[in-house]
Amino acid sequence: MQFTPEKYRIPDLPMQPFIDPDEIWDYLNNSIPTPDKVKEIVEKSLSKKRLNLEETAILINATDTTSIELIKEGARLLKRNVYGNRIVLFAPLYVGNKCSNNCVYCGFRASNKAQVRKTLSLDELVKEVEALEDEGQKRLILVFGEHAEYTPEFIADSVRTTYKVKKGNGEIRRVNINAAPLDIEGYKTVKEAGIGTYQVFQETYHPEAYKKYHLSGRKADYNWRLTALDRAQKAGIDDVGIGALIGLYDWRFEVMGLVRHTNHLETCYNVGPHTISFPRIKDASNLHMGSSYFVSDEDFLRMVAILRLAVPYTGMILTAREPAALRDEVIQYGVSQIDGGTKIELGSYSFKEKNENIDRSQFRINDDRPLNDIIDELLDQDMIPSFCTACYRLGRTGEHFMEFSVPGFIKRFCTPNAILTLAEYLYDYAPEQTKEKGMKVIEKNLKELSVKIQKELKKKIERIEQGERDLYF
């Protein structure tokens, strides 16, 4: 290799920054693709091996039609063969939009005086969670601005309150967090409340670009954010989510940054991120983002396929920032989780009537289909919508890794558990037509399991029909 190899530059040390933009650009500028090389790399990924930075750069640079098709087909195959046809559903719940940072792209930024500031009281939080449970949600991500009020204790209290809310057969079984980076003590406090994943997005991995978008406040410190999940690991949170806000800088650099971050966590803590998010910038309150780094739908699809191949055992999240039709397509390339029935205006799950004059949202969403519509469409595509939380609750962390690497894990655990949570949804929340459709999908998928599991699963479904809940393998 003519250019600087990966290990030549910044070594991976716990709690130390690890991004070298020159190293990443070296890879991007010098990794030359050929269709044969691309084929070899796709095969490596299909044989369940994570790609290194050079291989990722080769896929990024492969822009001829044959290579793009190879990459997309590889991602489709990987998704189908390794993860099967399940899609995990969740909803975001915005708890507070006060913020002392000034992220240029965000409607919550401190300087946005047009934003109506609000923090849900515990009573309001309960109402929101009840409304979400009434829809059939089981997995939430609580979202917070960065503000002195949103202390680790406050976040932990919100998590505990959410878990306590039980309405009818409804309950929230997994609460994830998207909030500001904390110090080690802070993460410990939040961990004790029983969180699922702690997400912190780097937004852009490019330090100079980062400076341009983060004008003031704690978030202006690039390295504090870059090492956020190292501190989480030190505090015992090994279930973390990384992400980049696509459109701030060159998407090719961000993909390399995400892979580099994954390497770093694996090298230092022996466990990669649980999930990767890649939101594209959307218009926000009092802001119209024009960006020279705008990523077309076509490149976005390619980007998702490349990420799928680069980190084959990491969960990938696609949110309602993207329109329905594109979401349906992107899912095929390896997305494992989507949000459904999303409302991002504070308090809007429990207020039935939208107040058109008040906008408390962070940005505009493009897929506002109710949860049941999304479930209907997934069923039409022969997918199994899943609310499964079994691994997390049984202490089986690193579930994506197990799905990926333990032979038979998916057929023994994931598919049966997805079916059980779908059955619960169908009995408790679905209109008749969805129920019929869902039962057919369940029957069809049952047939692909071993006779022993089919038997056990049918028994459990009968128990659900008779009113038992929360059964899993």
The interface partner of residue 279, options being ligand SF4, ligand SAM, none and the CB cut-off 5 to 8 Å by kind, is ligand SAM
Angle at CA of residue 316, ends 315 and 319, nearest 5°: 135
What is the total count of residues that contact ligand SAM (CB under 6 A)?
Answer: 21
Select 105 or 413, whichever has its Cβ closest to ligand SF4. 105
Using CB under 6 A, pick the residue from 110, 143, 384, 414 that binds ligand SAM.
Answer: 143
Q: How far is the CB of 245 from ligand SF4 (least distance, A)?
A: 8
Burial tier of 94 (Cβ tally within 10 Å: 0-12, 13-18, 19+): buried
The interface partner of residue 109, options being ligand SAM, ligand SF4, none and the CB cut-off 5 to 8 Å by kind, is ligand SF4
Count of CA atoms in the C-beta half-sphere (13 A) of 197:
30
Phi-psi category of 127—alpha, beta or left, where left has phi over 0 and alpha has psi -120 to 50?
alpha
Contact between 55 and ligand SAM by CB under 6 A: the answer reads no
Cα separation, 419 vs 442, whole angstroms: 6
Binding mask 58-77 for ligand SAM (x = CB under 6 A): --------------------
User: Which residues of this protein are in contact with ligand SF4, per CB under 6 A?
Assistant: 99, 101, 103, 106, 108-109, 145-146, 219
Contact between 242 and ligand SAM by CB under 6 A: the answer reads no
| Other beta carbons less than 10 A from residue 444's beta carbon | 11
Select 232 or 245, whichever has its Cβ closest to ligand SAM. 245
Beta-carbon contacts of residue 210 (< 8 Å; ≥ 6 apart): 202, 203, 204, 222
Beta-carbon contacts of residue 357 (< 8 Å; ≥ 6 apart): none
Cα separation, 444 vs 446, whole angstroms: 6
Contact between 120 and ligand SAM by CB under 6 A: the answer reads no
Provide the H-helix boundaries in 366-450.
371-380, 390-393, 399-405, 409, 415-428, 432-446
Q: How far is the CB of 427 from ligand SF4 (least distance, A)?
A: 38
Q: How far is the CB of 264 from ligand SF4 (least distance, A)?
A: 22
Cα separation, 118 vs 377, whole angstroms: 34
Using CB under 6 A, pick the residue from 19, 131, 284, 318 that binds ligand SAM.
Answer: 284
Using CB under 6 A, pick the residue from 24, 59, 82, 106 that binds ligand SAM.
Answer: 106
Contact between 282 and ligand SAM by CB under 6 A: the answer reads yes
Element (H, E) at 462: helix 451-465
- From the list 314, 298, 60, 35, the residue with the least C-alpha distance to 43 is 35
Contact between 105 and ligand SAM by CB under 6 A: the answer reads yes
Q: In this chain, which stretch among 46-54, 110-118, 142-150, 413-421 interacts with ligand SAM, using CB under 6 A?
A: 142-150
Provide the H-helix boundaries in 141-193.
152-164, 184-192
Cα 105 to chain center, whole Å? 20
Q: Which residue has the tokens 């037509």?
A: 433
Q: How far is the CB of 105 from ligand SAM (least distance, A)?
A: 5
Residues in the chain: 473
Q: How far is the CB of 92 from ligand SAM (least distance, A)?
A: 9
Contact between 363 and ligand SAM by CB under 6 A: the answer reads yes
Q: In this chain, which stretch among 77-85, 278-286, 293-301, 386-394 interacts with ligand SAM, using CB under 6 A?
A: 278-286
Contact between 145 and ligand SAM by CB under 6 A: the answer reads yes
SS3 for 217-263 is: CHHHCHHHHHCHHHHHHHCCCCCEEEEECECCCCHHHHHHHHHHHHH
Judged by CB under 6 A, the chain residues 165 through 194 that form the site for ligand SAM are 178-180
Q: How far is the CB of 65 from ligand SF4 (least distance, A)?
A: 37
Q: How far is the CB of 405 from ligand SF4 (least distance, A)?
A: 34
Q: What is the DSSP string of 37-55?
A: HHHHHHHHHHTT----HHH
The interface partner of residue 259, options being ligand SF4, ligand SAM, none and the CB cut-off 5 to 8 Å by kind, is none
Q: How far is the CB of 178 from ligand SAM (least distance, A)?
A: 5
Is 320 within 8 Å of 368 (Cβ atoms)? yes
Select 173 or 219, whichever has its Cβ closest to ligand SF4. 219
Select 108 or 349, whichever has its Cβ closest to ligand SF4. 108
Chain residues binding ligand SAM by CB under 6 A are 105-106, 108, 143-146, 178-180, 200-201, 203, 245, 279, 281-282, 284, 321, 362-363
